[in-house]
Amino acid sequence: MSDTSSTILNALDRRGFLQAAALPCFAACSGALVGLPLAAPLFATPPPTEDDGQFIREAKFYEKLPYKKTKCKLCPRECVIDDQERGYCGVRENRGGTYYTLVHSRVVTAHIDPIEKKPFFHFMPGAVAFSLATAGCNVNCKMCQNWDISQVRPEQVRATYAPPDKITALAQQNSCPVIAYTYSEPVIFLEYVLDCAQAARPAGVRSVVVSGGYIQADPLKKLCAQVDAIKIDLKAYSEKFYKEVVNGELKPVLEAILTIRKAGVWNEIVYLVVPTLNDGDAEFQALARWVKSEVGPDVPLHFSRFHPEYLLKNLPPTPIETLERAKAIADAEGLHYVYIGNVPGHPAESTYCPHCRKKVVDRTGYTIAGVYLHHGKCQFCQTPIPGVWS
């Protein structure tokens, strides 16, 4: 980033923030940063040098092996790392037989977003979330919208030191009742998420996580104990897709969804429909049947429209008819809350009571036109609508 960019980053005001959205580290999220300007400077002090120890903490989830090797126990990869080497995600390093995270408090992008943008449709409708990310990811999705920050090492992108108490203060200053860990992959900066969520809770600020769910059970359980909601991007209902397009596995993600539900944390699922790769009727049906039988019919399932990005620019945007077909199949399988995403103005953005079919949350894009719930129940027929509504 240029010296001019650094100056803007270090002294960010309302006007400066909007200008900064055009800079590499802020524009990295390919539209994820379209939201509200901050009410106060985000980074009031100069960021430290790239090798500053403020970013480094011993990792929580690993085991020590002979010959100064370490085995990561955070995600299903279980990387075995030699001394002075890093794991697959590029943000965890073995130093003399001790494993460290290099991205604690190392924020590369932050903004205020509507909660509906995550998307969470059954969690505090109309709320705004202080949203942040560090660099790195533990998969490599060919359709990634945020590859500029997810597929780089920490030292390759400008960052600023933002410790947990500062994040809570910034959320409060900007009237955000929620902090969202999003944009890249919160699993790889889990220590930071846990510390931020723990700092925010006494202040009455909630925490939500937007994740691919590629994580082991023990760290996920610890995450569930600290946060209020988790949205899982279920990339496909196909091991082939996960292997060839995501560079990961499906089974651990399904297990993560079950763990979240058992922990009682609010959960929503998003399925990005990619033309020719995961858009078959049989896959939609198998997915819907799994969700209903294993997680329950009340879990919101979002079928989102794909737009060409990163390594899949050769494919067209998802036809709206395909999304409508996916929704119809899931509806027929008995799911109660099936949505169509990334199609502003579509009727399937709104929430309908499964009993009387009246609209109980009226949405257009990220805007809430009306909420017709009373104490979590449909105000027309008193049917409970699962979610976190206040």
| 8 Å CB contact between 214 and 243 | no
Whether 2 is in a domain gets the answer no
Same domain, 233 and 371: no
Q: Are residues 177 and 294 in the same domain?
A: yes
* Any domain includes 39: no
What is the average pLDDT across 102-110?
97
Alpha-carbon distance of 250 to 211, in angstroms, equals 14
For residue 323, what pLDDT band results from cuts at 50, 70 and 90? very high
In a domain, 8, yes or no: no
Residue 211's Cα: distance from chain center in Å?
4
Q: Is the pLDDT of residue 230 over 80?
A: yes
Q: Which of 108, 222, 90, 228 is nearest to 157 (CA)?
A: 108
Give the C-alpha separation, 353 to 377, whole Å: 9
* 363: containing domain: 350-390
| Lowest mean per-residue pLDDT among 5-19, 210-224, 285-299 | 5-19
Q: What is residue 53's predicted lDDT score, i.e. its pLDDT?
A: 86
Query: Do 201 and 213 belong together in one domain?
Result: yes
User: What is the pLDDT, as a whole number, of residue 143?
Assistant: 97
**What are the distances in angstroms from CA 84 to CA 62, 70, 123, 155?**
15, 11, 42, 16
Is residue 8 predicted with pLDDT exceeding 70? no
Assess whether pLDDT exceeds 50 at residue 17. Answer: no
- Indicate whether 275 belongs to any domain: yes
The reply to whether 175 and 245 lie within a common domain is: yes
Q: What value does the mean pLDDT take over residues 298-323?
A: 97
Average pLDDT in the 252-259 region? 98
Answer yes or no: is pLDDT of 11 > 70. Answer: no
Query: Do 308 and 383 sit in the same domain of this protein?
Result: no
Position 52 scores a pLDDT of: 72
CA–CA distance, 286 with 289 (Å, rounded to integer)? 5
Query: Which residue in 238, 240, 179, 188 sits closest to 212, CA to CA?
Result: 188
Judge contact between 178 and 127, C-beta under 8 A: yes
pLDDT band at 335 (very low <50, low <70, confident <90, very high): very high
Q: Are residues 190 and 233 in the same domain?
A: yes
In a domain, 25, yes or no: no
Phi, psi of 209 (to 5 degrees): -125, 135
**Where is the domain boundary, 35, 66, 101?**
101
Pick from 106, 69, 109, 104: nearest CA to 87? 69
Q: What is the pLDDT of residue 1?
A: 35
Residue 358 confidence (pLDDT) above 50: yes
Q: Which pTM was predicted?
A: 0.89
Confidence band, pLDDT 50/70/90 cuts, at residue 351: very high
Tell which residue, 223, 225, 233, has the closest CA to residue 304. 233
Is 203 in the same domain as 246?
yes
Q: What is the pLDDT of residue 7?
A: 27
CATH of residue 259:
3.20.20.70
Average pLDDT over all residues of the chain: 89
Tens of pLDDT, residue by residue over 173-196, are 999 999 999 999 999 999 999 999
Count: domains in the chain:
3
Q: How far apart are CA 20 and CA 18, in angstroms?
A: 5
Q: What is the pLDDT of residue 42?
A: 53
- Residues 6 or more apart whose Cβ sits within 8 Å of residue 190: 60, 61, 74, 215, 219, 223
In the numeric block, which tokens belong to residue 250? 């499906």
Return the pLDDT at 27.
31
Whether 350 contacts 359, CB under 8 Å:
yes
83-117 burial code (b ≥16 CB/10 A, e <16): eeebbbbbbbbbeeeebbbbbbbbbbbbbbbbbbb
Q: Are residues 184 and 333 in the same domain?
A: yes
Q: Is the pLDDT of residue 264 over 50?
A: yes
Q: What pLDDT band is residue 390 in, cutting at 50, 70 and 90?
A: confident
Confidence class for position 10, pLDDT limits 50, 70, 90: very low
Q: Please identify which residue in the block is written with the tokens 């089974």.
A: 251
Q: How confident is the model over 17-25, as a mean pLDDT? A: 32
For residue 113, what pLDDT band results from cuts at 50, 70 and 90? very high
Q: Which of 23-37, 57-71, 147-161 has the lowest mean pLDDT?
A: 23-37
Whole-number Å distance between alpha carbons of 349 and 234: 19
Same domain for 89 and 187, yes or no, is: no
Query: Do residues 256 and 367 both lie within one domain?
Result: no
Gap between the Cα atoms of 60 and 71, Å rounded: 12
Hey, what amino acid is at 219?
A: P
Predicted confidence band of residue 51 (pLDDT cuts 50, 70, 90): low
Taking 80 as the threshold, does the pLDDT of residue 112 lie above it? yes
Q: Does residue 79 sit in the same domain as residue 152? A: no
The CA-based angle 299-300-302, given to 5 degrees, is 140
The predicted model gives 350-367 an average pLDDT of 97
Question: What count of residues does the chain have?
Answer: 390
For residues 82 and 203, state if they share a domain. Answer: no
Higher-pLDDT residue of 131, 43 = 131
Question: Would 40 be classed as within a structural domain?
Answer: no
* Residue at 321 is within a domain: yes
Which string of DSSP letters, residue by residue, matches 253-284?
Answer: HHHHHHHHHHHT-EEEEEEEE-TTTS--HHHH
